[in-house]
Amino acid sequence: MAGGTEAIVSANTVEARILLIRGHKVILDADLAELYGVETKALTRAVRRNPERFLFMLQLSSQEFASLRRQYGTSSQWGGRRYPPFAFAEQGVAMLSSVLRSRRAVLVNVEIMRAFVRLRQMLAAHADLQGRLDELEAKYDAKFKVVFEAIRQLMEPPAKPRKPIGFSPQTGSQRPSGAVTQNSH
């Protein structure tokens, strides 16, 4: 890191906590509290004491939070909460270090800001590439349509591999009941 300081949290740790909610890139209060090394209730208490600083924050609806918990599994990292969490956009996160006032909060904040910048750069590069591809496709005739489709497929994230169905000779496991088997006569 610049200035001779060490990163307190890794870039991957921060980037994994950024979610897209209501069209905004946000980090949930419990994730921020963990990154800052404070309890979630201490973070939310500091936010509630300074509401004028947190215009770039939203509270998830009960339905949004339930959907998010289902998406990440029932034994969620966000625990048993009574109220839906707060979600902080980049500007809301920037205000947290001034409210929390610790050296760790400042250093973690720098890493979070870098993660948001990297994410914006990746999205901009992808959008730029998509625009160039559209221009090229418009310029050339149908002969290259197959090439452009192949490039678009390569740009999409890979699909999750599916579990094979049926008997696996290595493990000795059997097909699920009702599975079609080949009879040998």
Q: What tens digit of pLDDT does each residue of 1-30 get?
A: 444 445 677 878 888 888 888 888 899 999
Query: What Rg do the C-alpha atoms of the chain give, in angstroms?
Result: 23
Q: Which residues pair with 21 in a beta bridge?
A: 24
Q: What is the average pLDDT across 83-87?
A: 88
Q: Are strands 24-28 and 86-89 parallel, antiparallel or unpaired?
A: antiparallel
In the chain, how long is the greatest CA-to-CA distance? Answer: 79
- CA contacts within 13 A on the Cβ side of 67: 9
Output 150 or 43, whichever has higher pLDDT. 43
Output the pTM of the full model: 0.58
Give the CA distances from residue 9 to residues 39, 43, 48, 79, in Å, rounded to whole numbers and listed in that order.
Answer: 17, 18, 26, 22
Residue boundaries of the structural domains of the chain: 2-120, 123-155
Distance of CA 169 to the CA centre of its chain: 38
